[in-house]
Each structure stands twice: as C-alpha cells, then as structure tokens.
Structure 1
Amino acid sequence: MTGRTRLLDPGVGQAMSALSAAAKKGLGDPALAELVVIRASQLNHCAFCLDMHLRIAREHGVSERKLDLLAAWEEAGDVYDERERAALALTEAVTVLTDRFVPDEVYERAAKHFDDSGLAHLIGLIVAINNWNRVMVSRRIPPGGHTP
C-alpha cells in the first residue's frame, strides 16, 4: 500500500476543498449540505467521509432521526421535507448515474425547490463529495483522521 496514506498533492487538495467550500456556502443551508454529503458517502461506502460528516451534521443540529433514516429516506415518510427529498433524489441520481444521465424528472423535481444558483451549488456539492469519496476510498483512508 505504498503511497496510499498520502492523501493528495497539496494543490489538488486545495482545489477540491475550495470547490466543497464554495458549493456549501452557495447552498446556504449547512444541515441540508450535510445530508447530501452523507447520502453520497453512504452510496460510495466512504467510512472516512461518513465519520466526519455525521459529526458535522450533528454540530449543525441535524436530528438523530434524520441521520438514522437517511439510507431509507424515500420510505421515511415526512421525516424529510420536499426540498430535502428533492436534493437527496438528485444526490443519488448524480452519484450513481444508473442510466448514464440524471433523469429529467429528478432534475425537474430539484428545480422546483432550488433556483439556478441553488441547483449549481447543489450539483457542485454532489460532485465535490463524490470526488472526496473516490479519493478516500481508493486510498483506503480510515475514519477518524479528520481534524477540523
């Protein structure tokens, strides 16, 4: 596993961090941002990011119930509001790309709850966490190593 413990070249890491920060800031809802990054990290099996973002979500006041049911958000009834559900559906579609594209109905559902800028920031956040998940999983970075 030579080299796997080194995370990234500093320039690449800074660029990825800048994208993550800009997308989160532009989205303007830290609790929703954490739900999005946690759901993508669940799909990507990224223990490092799950460990870090579950802690951050709690700091932003996300309820334990929302965190506990996130993997089954579609079946969770009214635990998530329509805006959260639209963001989570888009998160799954962008993360998985099952049919090689995001279905129109998923995008249109999100567009009902986010303006153009909000959609750009939401998609940017989904892309950013998918990048981080892929780095951490490919490098086999274990949970617990994040220091704010």
Structure 2
Amino acid sequence: MRTRTTLLDGGVHSALRAVGAAAKRGLGDAGLAELVQIRASQLNHCAYCLDMHLGIAREQGVSERQLDLLAAWEEAGEVFDGRVRAALALTEAVTVLTEGFVPDAVWEEATRHFDADALAHLLALIAAINSWNRLMVTRRIPAGGTAW
C-alpha cells in the first residue's frame, strides 16, 4: 500500500479556514459552532477534529455535561435546548445524507430556530467541518497531528 499524503495545499488550507471562520462569525454563537463541529466529527470518526474542537469548546465555556452527552443528544433531554437540538439534527442530516437529501422536517425545525442569515452560516459551518473531516480522515491525520 502506498503511503498516504499528509500534504495539504496552502491555498486549500487557507480557503477552508476562511470559510469556517466566516461561518462561525456569522452564526454568532461560538459554543453552538463547536457543538456542531464536534458532532459532525463524531459521525465522521475524525480524531484530529474531535481533539481540536473539544478543546476549543471547553475554552468557549461549553459544559462538560453537554460534551459528555453530545453523542446521545436526542436522548439527553433538557441538556440541549431546542435551538441546539435543531442545529444538531441539521448537522446529522447534512453529514450523513442517508436518504440523499436533508429531510423537510429537519429543515423546517431549523428554520424555527434560525433566521435565514444564521441558517446560511450554520449550513456553511457544517459543510466546512465535513470538508475538514474528510481531508483529515482520508489522510489518517491523528489527534494532535501536525503534518499538513
């Protein structure tokens, strides 16, 4: 088997960072942004992104209880409010696309909690973290890895 590349073009790296940063700023909720990125990274089995975003989430004040229960958010009751639950449901639907599209019910629930601008930024954030996850998992960059 050929060795997997650890290289990532500098322009691609900069562009993806810019998309993620713009999406986070536009969303305006740093804690929610981290929960979304962690949940997508859990689904994609991306140790690198999990390691990074769990640390950032703690710095942003996301509770340990939320971090501990994120993988089972649907069963976690009041730990996650309706807005966070809508964002996590959208994150899962976009990340997995099991039926080839985001279900209308998931989209409608998201529109109840986010205006058009915030929803556009949330969707961009989900797309960005999924891109990062795929780049890191495909290249098998480990948690704490520094190779690009």
Counterpart CA distance in 1 for 2:135 and 2:68 is 25
Q: Deviations over 1:87-124 (max 9, x none)?
A: 00000000000110000000000000100000000000
Identity %: 72
State the partner residue of 2:22.
22
- How many aligned residue pairs are there? 145
State the partner residue of 2:44.
44
Counterpart CA distance in 2 for 1:138 and 1:93 is 21
Which amino acid is the alignment partner of residue 35 of structure 1?
L
Map 1:51-130; keep pairs closer than 5 Å: 51-130=51-130
RMSD in angstroms over aligned alpha carbons?
0.9
Mark the runs of 5 or more structure 2 residues left unpaired by the alignment.
Answer: none
Counterpart CA distance in 2 for 1:57 and 1:133 is 17
Residue 131 of structure 1 aligns to a residue whose secondary structure is helix
Residue 144 of structure 2 aligns to a residue whose secondary structure is coil
Counterpart CA distance in 2 for 1:128 and 1:80 is 23
State the partner residue of 2:3.
2
Counterpart CA distance in 2 for 1:76 and 1:45 is 21
Q: Deviations over 1:22-59 (max 9, x none)?
A: 00110000000000000000000000000000000000
Counterpart CA distance in 2 for 1:117 and 1:5 is 35
Counterpart CA distance in 1 for 2:39 and 2:4 is 28
Mark the runs of 5 or more structure 1 residues left unpaired by the alignment.
Answer: none
Offset of residue 4 of structure 1: 1.8
Offset of residue 145 of structure 1: 2.9
Which amino acid is the alignment partner of residue 85 of structure 1?
R
Offset of residue 2 of structure 1: 3.5
Calculate the TM-score normalised by the size of structure 1.
0.96
Calculate the TM-score normalised by the size of structure 2.
0.96
Counterpart CA distance in 2 for 1:95 and 1:54 is 18
